[in-house]
Every structure is written in C-alpha cells, then in structure tokens.
Structure 1
Amino acid sequence: MNNKPKTIKNKKLKLLQSAICTMLLLFCIQVNSQRLTVSSTGAKILKDGNPITLRGVNFGNWLVWEGYMMNIEPGGSVREKSPTQIRGLFKDLFGNDEGKTVSFENNWRNSYITNSDFAQAKALGYNVVRIPFAYNMFWNQSTGTLTNDGFTWLDKAVSWAKNNNIHVILCLHTAPGYQSTSYTCDNPNGGTPNFWNNWNNVNIAASIWNHIANHYKNFVGNEWIAGYDLLNEPLLDNGNGQKSSLMASYKVMTARIREVDSNHLIFAQGNYYGSDFYDMLQRWDSNLVFENHYYGPQGQSDPNPDLNLIKGQGTALNIPVWTGEFGENTLDWIRDARIDYDAANVGWAFWAWKRQYTDRSIYSFPGTPKWDALCNYVKFGSAKPSIADAVTATNEICNKSLLSNCNLVSSLQDRLRPIAPIGSVISLQNSGKYVSSNNSVGVVTADRSTAQGWEKFTVVNAGDNKIALRDSNGKYMNSQNGASPVTSNSTAVNGWESFEWINVGQQIALKGFNGKFLCSEGGAASGMNCNRESVSGWESFNYASTTAKLSVEKSQIKDNEFTVYPNPVSDKLNFSVPEGFTKYTAQIFDLTGKQYSITKIDSNETTNSIDTRNLSDGVYVLRLDNNREVKSSIIIKKNN
C-alpha cells in the first residue's frame, strides 16, 4: 500500500520530465528554424532548409553618424565630417561639456531607432535590417581593451528584431586604422587606409568580432541575427601590393568568430567599396555570403553594370551574393536597380531608412527653427548658437526623428516594394498566350489565345509578403517545388502554393517556394515549370485585372501629383487631388485588399480629406478612382 503513491508519483514525475523535454525540443526546433544557412550547392541563403531572399533596409546614422543624413554636411568642395568629428562638433556647441555630449548621443540613439522602426520595416515588406556600428563601441583605444558599451544598443536591436520577426545583420562600419579613405569609416582627412598596414588593427577587429559572437551565441533572440558583416566598404589599392590582405584579414576575423559561434552567416564585402571580388574568390567558410555595394552616377541608365559578373563569381564557388547597400539616386534609378536585383534573384538592402529633408530615404523627418539655425552655422558659418540653444535644438531634433514624427516617402517605398493586387482577378500572358489552369486537371499551361474562365486567377494573400493564385474552381496553383510541372489542384495554401509577386516594370514574375521563377517557355501542353534562376522573357508576364488593382507602382504616381499628409496619420488624412479628379471615390484598403472605407467626392477642390479614426494602427492604401484611371498612395495609421 505504501508503494502505490510513490509509484504514481514517479510516473507523474517521468511524464512531467518527458513533457519538459518535448517542450525544450520544440523550442529548439522553433529557434533553429529561424537561423539562416548557406546551401552546399546552388549559392542560396536558406531558412529552415528553404531558399529565402533577404530584402531590407539599413538603419544608418543611428550608431554611426553621417552628417548629410542630419542636414549638417558642409556641401561644395568641403569634405564631409567623420563620425568622430561630428561628435566633436556637438561637444564644441555644448561648450566642451562631455556630459551634455553624452546626453545628446544617448538621446539620439534612444529616439532615432526604436522597436517601432523594426515593426514598421516588417510591415512595409522588409525581412532584414542591416545595422552599422563603430569599433570603438567595443574597444577602448587608450587602454587597448575590449568593452561592453556597444551591447547597450545592439542588444536592443536583436531584441526588437525578435519582437517583430525580422532578421538583423550587424556591420562593422568603422575599423581601427581606417579601412578606406572615406569619412564613413571615421577617416578624418581622407588619408591612407592603415587598417592592414599594422596587422594589430586586424587582430583588434577580430577580437571585437569574437567578443560580439561570444555574447550572442546564447542570447535570447540570436536566431534572428542573420549574420556578421565583417568590414564595411574596404579599399586596398593595387599600388601597395596588399590586395591579397583583404581575404587574409577576413579569414582571421572569421576564425575568431568560429571559435565561439558556428551558426551565423559571414558577410564579406569586395574591395573598392564592396564592388570587386577578384582577390577573394575562395569559399573559406561554409556559411559565407559575398556582399556587393553599388552607388552609380545620378540617373545612370544601367544601375547594375557588374551585377551578373559578381553573381557569376559567387555562383561558381557556391557563394550567394547579396547587395548590402544601394540608393542615393533618382527614384527611377532606384526602381530600376531594385528590378535588376529581383530579376537576378539577388537579395538587397536599400541604404537610407530615415533622413532629414529628403525624398531619398524611406522616411523623412523635419527640422525646427533652432535646429535649422544650428545646421546653418555648421554648413555656412552663420551665427553660432548659444549653448542653451544648442541643447534645445538637439533635444528637438531627437524628438523629430521619432518614427511617429516622420513622413513616409511613398514615391520611394512604392518603387522598392510594389504592392501585389490582393483580391483582384487577373490573367497572366506571355508571348501573346494566356496561362490556363485547365480546369484544375493535369498541368498548368501557357498556350491559350483568349482569357476565359480557366485563364483567370484570384490573387490571395498567402502571408509573409507572398501571394497565392486561386483558379475558377477554387483550387490553388502549385509550383511542385520545381520538381515537376506546375498544377492548379491544391485545396489549401502551404509552401508550394505561395509565390513572391515580383514587379519587373510593366510586367511581373512569380518566384516559388524553391527560390526559382515560374517559366512559360513554349507554353506547351507538357506544362509550365517553376525552375528558372532569373527573370528574362519566359519568366515575365503581362497581367490584366478584371477588378481594381492596388499596385502602387502600376499607378505611376508622379512627384507632387498625389501627396498625403500627415503621414503617419492619427485622425484626419489630407490629400492633394490629381488633375482631372473632380468626381471620384476615395477608398482605403489594407495590404490584404480588405476595404475599410469608401467616400464619393464631387468637388473642384485641389485638396480633400478623409476620416481615419476608425482604422487600427497599420499600413494601408488610399486609392482614388475617377472611372478612367486609378491613383494610389501608401499611408500609415498611428493612434496617439
């Protein structure tokens, strides 16, 4: 009798232990499923064993200041100030008071990027954020020792990434001795890059990476760290005979990371500011990614002249290529560059998330009279602000830089992440022939001369910025993961039924779960396949809709023709009325195509407004329709 309760207790204990083990196993599986790897063949970045395209933004000017992004660049032939010089400039404005300088630095960092910025980047369709940081956040040059100062900010970034299911890439933007002649690496006068001339600099950078990797190897949320970007935009000249030092330094840094962390990706940028990979054509790590940067001349006709060359170099070594920075150009150049990357199946991160007074970042923030006066002193030598005014001005600009006080630059965002026409019934056409579901029987072909019932598909939100195509029988197109011809007979949307809707100018492409594109080649009865690595003629489709399209880029909004303000909005949204829109409807949709309001307007007013108080926080589309043409703009709703 006395043994029975003990036996029952032991059984309960074993059940409890088993349950705990199961929970831990499931937790580990869930955590590891977010971690990225590189395929052993095919030059792909993988998530949970499946290809993922990293498209993102840079949170520049957060931890490493850049004067032009703050409206304090000198302009003309005067060299821009380095981050350390910018800090000295503010210290001077504060009467050489270190306490006030530290206070502004911290206030800036606490305001400029917050959890809201990560959440908004995710909401706008991005899945990675690249974060530049400085080496002296982790290294005390005076004592020659490692510090933990930088973890105050990078820990926030990793935690916010986890909160919002978005990846982060940590980038060493400035290195001891300077890795280029640019002010961006904190080189104060454009002198010779000495990072490699004294190999102790390389060892310091390697120690910093070891320090960071060791800190994050067990950090909660570390699975959302996509990887470590070893060195930003290096420059080694042919003349000094040291170009081979670049790969050698990368190997040292990689080895120190791998001493403590075997999981995260290694991003390695090419020479000449991330553009030249000839002296590093070796796969020295199984999770290595080549990172390309490109900023072309203003309005350049070909925004990616070396993209295919660089991608081919990586592919030959089974190394994926990823573009970590591009932008700072005309809106059309940015659109064409993005199309090139997407068509070549190369992921990317646009440079500027947030800047002052610009249409070349995704968000723009205004100034204040005192801040503008401070900027005029720095840029033009006008009257120097008093210490009190400098403190007020810097406090004000920190507040203005909060996302809630910034304006979305819709004309830029529309070109980077055009919206799929969720809810629309469309037809797809290539080489004059329409794609057909064939009544959900057999395979999908592209051989029909007209678009009837079988040639029409409803665009459905598949989640995670993907769509599904539902045919006239209510069945879904299935890519078959590229292993066999495409069908249209699935009853539910899972991985193989989801596609990325890729805008390629006036046409679109569909990228399947396997990271390859749908192809109509021949349109033969043998069926279409989802097995092409890049987009050219057979992989790009004209599409027509029998219902309203929400594609913002398709509407071809002209600059200043259709503006919305304030954006973000809390209650009343004002908008300018495009020419010819005297009688029209103003409709608001969310990104799934769900309609929230419709207002019929018959007015000759050049501006109008719509009530948004009934909307929850989120991203929406304001659509104006006068029965002849449609204009659209993205709006952000934020409750006070």
Structure 2
Amino acid sequence: MKQFVKAKDTRLYFGEKPLFLRGLGVGSWLNMEHFMLGIPTPDSMIRQSFTEVYGEENAENFFDDFFKSFLQAEDFQVLKDTGINFIRVPFNHRIFLNEQTGEYLEYGFAMMKRLLDFCEEYKIFVMPDLHTTPGGQNPDWHSDNRSGIPQFWEFAALRHQMTKLWGEIAKRFSSYEYLLGYDLLNEPSMASWEAMNSFYEETITEIRRYDTNHAIVLEGDMFAMDFSGLNHFDDSNIVLSFHYYPTVWNDKLLDKDMPREKRWEEFESGLLRLASIREQFKRPVICGEAGYDLHPDDMDFCMDLLEDTIAIFEKHEINWAIWTYKDAAFMGMVYPKSDTPWMQLAQKLREKWTHYKEMEQGKRMIHSAAEEFGGISENLAYKLQFRMRAILYEMQKEEILIPTLRDIPWEEIKTAPSSFLLENCEIWDCYQKLLQKFTQKN
C-alpha cells in the first residue's frame, strides 16, 4: 500500500512516521535565473536571444541539453550522500504551456516525470514550485517578468490558466509517493488578498478533483513573507511555506565585525516572526528558501552564516530547504569548473553585467527621474525600480547578451550545457560537510 506525506496539526508524516525535511532547492534548472547562471535577462529573454543568434532548432536543442545535463542520476546520488531527504524544484510555466494557443506541451510533463522517477528511485521527497506565471505573480526577474508589473493579479483569465495547469499536473502524477506536494506559487508579491485567496481556493479545488493524496503548499504575499490576509482553507493537507533571506533586507548582518551571538539573535528573532504562522494557522511550515552568496575568498564566513541559520531551523523544528544545490558559482554547493564553456561564457558576461549592478542601475535611474518631481516616496521608488529594470533587460539583451553570443560559433556554444554534468563540476566540500553535520544527526 502506498504512503504519502500528510499534514497533521503542525507536523508532517509519511505514513505513520513523523517526517522532518532537510533539503536543498535544486537551483536554476527548469526556470533559468540570470544571476545564478551568469546570463543577463529573465528566462524567456535568454531563450529569445539564443533563438535569434542560433536559430530556433539549435536553441531548442541547447536548452534540452541543459535540462538533461543539469540534473542526472549522479546528482541524486550526491544529494543522497549529503543526507538530503527533500528538494524543491522551481519550474517555468512556459515549458508546460504554449501561451499563444493554450495547448499543453508534452515536453514539460516529460521533464516532470523524469524528475519524479529519480525521486522515487532515490527516496528523496520533491516539492515542485510554480516559479513563473503569465504576467508574473511578482515584479522580479525570477518570475520571468519582463515588465516589472505583476499582472497575474490583474487578470482572472491568467490565474484560471494556472489553476488548470496545476490540475493537469495533479491528474498525471497523483500516484507518486515521494511527491511531497504542490507549491502553488513562488513568492507572490504586490497581490490583492482577494485575488490571491480566490486563486488558492480555486486551485485547491481543481487539484483535489484528481489528487487527494498530496499536500498543497501555500506561500504568502511580499515574496512569501506576509500571511496576514491569507484565508484558513478547508483542506486537511495544507502546508505553509515562507522564505527567509535576512541579509537581503538588512545588509548590516553581513558586517563581519558584528559579534556572532548578536547576528544569531537577529536571525532567530526574524525567523520566529515568520514561523509564527505555524501556530496561527495550525499547519506545518517549511522554509522553502534560505541562503547566502558564496565568496571563494571568504568561505569560512559564508559557512558561519549558513550554519547559524540551519541551527536555528533545527532548534525550532522548522523544515528547511537551502538555496541552492547547483548553479554557475554563485550560491550553489555544486558548480561547473572554471575552464568549462559555460563558465567561460558567464565570465565574459559578468565583466559587463552583474545582478547587483543591475539593481543599483535601476535604483539610480528611478531616483534621477524622481528629481523631476521634487522627489518621490520610497514606497513608489521601490515599485518603480522593477519597471526600470525591465527596461534594462532590453538593453542587456541587445547590447550585451546578443553581441556576446554572436562572437561564439554554434559549434562552440553547443557544448556549454555539458558544463553542468557532475563530471565537469566542483563540489564545495565545506558546504557538503556542513549539511551532513545536520542531516546525519538522526
């Protein structure tokens, strides 16, 4: 008889046994994030650029090779050896859906099946998360938002489309034991609670038409940090997930002169504020993302940050997934060697562009424009900087990415995806051992 993960009060169970999740996000795989791969612009614009330079067939082959190279059986063995029992897997809706015709694409479902089959084989729980939506559920690049406006919340037709997609996924994969559950939306932001609750309600109902086995995972507004207006849904297998990046919101926590005990206190107090939803909603909680940039010249400090964060999760029995398993040497435990084609491409592009430079450009341009109005509020400046960055994406595409690709022949660039094969990668030993310190406790 098959077993499935179930929520009972504030804990998770697999069958009759309590389950505590210690995991990793797999990284920039089925949804490509620019800073993680070293390539400017959101996912769909990266694809457009490759298509424009190398042609549609070559571009499709390139990204198919990337998907298949990035995560293979050998990677699951590394996860298993690390003691990980849980992975969170972001995916882009465009690999499942032709947005022009509304037809489903079998390619996306084949990739999901491949993923789930690996998880069944290696007995690692998996939580697929919808990282992008038509129009964007948040204004940032990681939702593949090209406008800086989260239009997903403005049009019910877009939300209905994603409700139906989740239903189709549930219909096809409801029998998998190691499918933890469905993370309906990654980091929604700037939503109305009416629209968000309506989307969640309709999507829960649609999934339950086909699947009563698996958990449904809900994230809050403000990039999964605000649950103040979330409904208490009438479903017995709901799990809540928040994200925790304390140094993003308070960069003073990166001051190495700050006593470690003081930083711990700041980390813990912030985490407990978010985790209080566990008691408020009487539901299990998962921190679906937490992590820090990795600096090769200062890995001791990076590991201190990570160790303290995980230790606080463990202290308060909060299920966790660290961001991330693999990327192009930014936050990943695993990364391609420096002499691989992908890293050589990333190095060329990072000489002209970085994620942080992009953010500063957007802020600077907004504040410059604001001077024409005698200044604007910080809240308005915050919202508008996403739109300014959308303009920057177009400039990056036309002035950086496409010219760089045109200098690289197809016969050379087509080998780049193989850079992510484990045989062509390095593993941060200190990172893996740190995780093992916690995963091998019991």
> TM-score normalised to the size of structure 1?
0.55
How many residues are aligned here? 372
Q: Which of 162, 178, 184 does residue 224 from structure 1 map onto?
A: 178
1:134 partnered with 2:92: yes
Q: Which amino acid aligns with 1:309?
A: R
Residue 294 of structure 1 contacts residue 304 of structure 1 at CA under 8 Å; is this kept in 2?
A: no
Residue equivalent to 2:15: 48
1:210 partnered with 2:167: yes
- Compute the RMSD of aligned alpha carbons: 2.2
Q: Which has the higher contact order (CA 8 A, sep 6+)?
A: 2
Secondary structure class of the residue paired with 1:282:
coil
Q: Which of 401, 406, 425 does residue 420 from structure 2 map onto?
A: 401
What is the CA–CA distance in structure 1 between the aligned matches of 2:236 and 2:401, rounded to whole Å? 55
What is the CA–CA distance in structure 2 between the aligned matches of 1:185 and 1:284, rounded to whole Å? 28
Residue equivalent to 1:262: 212
1:162 partnered with 2:120: yes
Going from structure 1 to structure 2, the CA distance change for 1:271 and 1:385 (only over 3 Å counts) comes to closer
Q: Which amino acid aligns with 2:155?
A: N
Going from structure 1 to structure 2, the CA distance change for 1:232 and 1:369 (only over 3 Å counts) comes to closer
Q: Deviation of residue 375 (structure 1)?
A: 3.5
What is the CA–CA distance in structure 1 between the aligned matches of 2:240 and 2:283, rounded to whole Å? 7
Secondary structure class of the residue paired with 2:239:
strand
1:65 partnered with 2:23: no
Q: Which amino acid aligns with 1:365?
A: P
Residue 370 of structure 1 contacts residue 389 of structure 1 at CA under 8 Å; is this kept in 2?
A: no
Q: Which of 19, 27, 52 does residue 92 from structure 1 map onto?
A: 52
What is the CA–CA distance in structure 2 between the aligned matches of 1:148 and 1:267, rounded to whole Å? 24
1:362 partnered with 2:319: no
1:112 partnered with 2:70: yes
Task: Within 5 Å, give how 1:176-195 maps onto structure 2.
Answer: 176-190=134-148, 192-195=149-152
Going from structure 1 to structure 2, the CA distance change for 1:142 and 1:376 (only over 3 Å counts) comes to same
Identity among equivalent pairs (%): 25
Q: Deviation of residue 92 (structure 1)?
A: 3.1
Secondary structure class of the residue paired with 2:408:
helix
1:306 partnered with 2:270: yes
Q: Deviation of residue 388 (structure 1)?
A: 8.4
Secondary structure class of the residue paired with 2:276:
helix
Q: Which has the higher strand share?
A: 1
Q: Deviation of residue 376 (structure 1)?
A: 5.3
The more displaced of 381-390 and 133-142 is 381-390
Q: Deviation of residue 183 (structure 1)?
A: 0.4
Q: Deviation of residue 89 (structure 1)?
A: 2.2
Residue 341 of structure 1 contacts residue 348 of structure 1 at CA under 8 Å; is this kept in 2?
A: yes
Q: Which amino acid aligns with 1:415?
A: L
Secondary structure class of the residue paired with 2:240:
strand
Residue equivalent to 2:432: 413
Residue 69 of structure 1 contacts residue 356 of structure 1 at CA under 8 Å; is this kept in 2?
A: yes
What is the CA–CA distance in structure 2 between the aligned matches of 1:382 and 1:204, rounded to whole Å? 31
1:338 partnered with 2:310: yes
Task: Within 5 Å, give how 1:25-44 maps onto structure 2.
Answer: 28=1, 31-32=2-3, 35-39=4-8, 41=9, 43-44=10-11
Q: Which has the higher helix share?
A: 2
> TM-score normalised to the size of structure 2?
0.79
What is the CA–CA distance in structure 2 between the aligned matches of 1:313 and 1:154, rounded to whole Å? 30
Q: Deviation of residue 393 (structure 1)?
A: 4.2
Q: Deviation of residue 383 (structure 1)?
A: 10
Q: Deviation of residue 113 (structure 1)?
A: 0.7
1:146 partnered with 2:104: yes
What is the CA–CA distance in structure 1 between the aligned matches of 2:15 and 2:402, rounded to whole Å? 58
Q: Which amino acid aligns with 1:404?
A: E
Residue 153 of structure 2 contacts residue 195 of structure 2 at CA under 8 Å; is this kept in 1?
A: yes
Deviations 1:536-595 (A, max 9, x none): xxxxxxxxxxxxxxxxxxxxxxxxxxxxxxxxxxxxxxxxxxxxxxxxxxxxxxxxxxxx
Q: Which of 229, 237, 246 does residue 279 from structure 1 map onto?
A: 229
- In structure 1, list runs of 5 or more residues that go unmatched: 1-27, 74-80, 421-464, 467-499, 501-640
What is the CA–CA distance in structure 1 between the aligned matches of 2:416 and 2:233, rounded to whole Å? 45
Q: Which amino acid aligns with 2:337?
A: P
Residue 281 of structure 1 contacts residue 313 of structure 1 at CA under 8 Å; is this kept in 2?
A: no
1:347 partnered with 2:319: yes
Going from structure 1 to structure 2, the CA distance change for 1:277 and 1:393 (only over 3 Å counts) comes to farther
What is the CA–CA distance in structure 2 between the aligned matches of 1:339 and 1:376, rounded to whole Å? 34
Deviations 1:435-485 (A, max 9, x none): xxxxxxxxxxxxxxxxxxxxxxxxxxxxxx45xxxxxxxxxxxxxxxxxxx
Q: Deviation of residue 163 (structure 1)?
A: 1.0
Task: Within 5 Å, give how 1:145-544 maps onto structure 2.
Answer: 145-190=103-148, 192-218=149-175, 222-236=176-190, 242-297=192-247, 298=251, 299-300=253-254, 301=263, 302-329=266-293, 330-358=302-330, 360-368=331-339, 371=342, 374-375=345-346, 378-379=349-350, 380=352, 381=400, 384=403, 389-418=408-437, 465=440, 500=442
- In structure 2, list runs of 5 or more residues that go unmatched: 255-262, 294-301, 353-399
Going from structure 1 to structure 2, the CA distance change for 1:249 and 1:109 (only over 3 Å counts) comes to same
Q: Which amino acid aligns with 1:339?
A: A
Q: Which amino acid aligns with 2:279?
A: T
Q: Which amino acid aligns with 1:145?
A: E
Q: Deviation of residue 194 (structure 1)?
A: 1.1
Residue 283 of structure 1 contacts residue 319 of structure 1 at CA under 8 Å; is this kept in 2?
A: no
